[in-house]
Structure 1
Amino acid sequence: RDEAPVTRLRPPAFGADRAERDVFPELTGEVSAIPGSPAAGAPVSASSSVSAQEREQQESAPAPWGEDLERTVVVRRGHPRWELVLPDGSTADLSGDVVILGRNPVADPAHPRAQLLAIADPTRTVSKTHARLERRGEVWRIVDLGSTNGILLPSPLGTDVEVEPGGAAEVAERFLLGDAALRLQRTDAGS
């Protein structure tokens, strides 16, 4: 049985300007992995197969931890982002934890920072100030503000829930203000 040739390497030469052929002189001639086979040609330097752009990026890589103390990395944390899909299919970003909905909603002194969101309703079944959405963590609740046509929370099982005037209920996703269908959706994909 033929034994595969074993290449013994010399200890690396030290010096800043040494070429690869100086470090591994036995690998600069033609080579073949199988004895008796045609030569594959001279080996190619690994550094020549890396683009100049990649070498530049590697050389300008950020300093190791502790050496770049002046740079601050920004981390996104905080509140998840939500939007409301309106009856016409458009969306409105919900900028706060309290949102007052209606055809022409009026600010509530008890919630001075509440977002006012006008719902376009050609059927005029949405009251001027119809409902209030309130978020606590991941849960949204809707409060009827004495609307004329109420709030309906449709259920996939057909057990729709009608919110009592002045009452509140948890909103899973879809709800109706009068005949206007709206849908809550998270826009940050849970991050």
Structure 2
Amino acid sequence: MDKSMLKGVAVGGFAMVVLGASGVTGYQALKKPTVADVVAVKPVTETVVTPRERCEDVQVRRQAPVQDQHRVAGTVVGGVAGGLLGGAVGRGNGNTLATVAGAVAGGYAGNQVQKNLQQKDVVVSTERRCKTVNEKSQNVIGYQVTYRLDGQEGTARTAFKPGATLPVKDGKVVTTPPEIRS
């Protein structure tokens, strides 16, 4: 055998080894899964508290302002009525005493009647009352994904809701969102 032939056999043998190795590697690459099956997806949420002001109109009842604080009108009217009644009852010297006693009792009764009427006299007004309330809401911040790859289950957290499968690259599940092509 000459030298060129030996070189050809050597180069050919080397080429066969390289092709064989690449074929095995290519076969193993083809044999590796390209997707993982999604078994379960659970949303991961956070509670957000948002304060806001809630206002409402409320009917408020208050005692009306008193015009006659000393209840003079009730005392005078009651005294006059009591005096007239007392004078109608008594005779002679007793008439004066009955008139005075009737006036005093009538004055006191008139004062108390006016006091009760003033306490029951109310004014109704509408007031706006506000208070801060906290409203809670749930925001989805990601997904806890259970997947099956090569017969084994694993979990990953994604920022997007996956479909039935997740892509696999170099034997690992890809958890970045897929590119959106426009």
Q: Structure 1 length normalisation: TM-score?
A: 0.16
The structure where helix makes up a greater share of residues is 2
The structure where strand makes up a greater share of residues is 2
Q: Structure 2 length normalisation: TM-score?
A: 0.17
Larger radius of gyration: 2
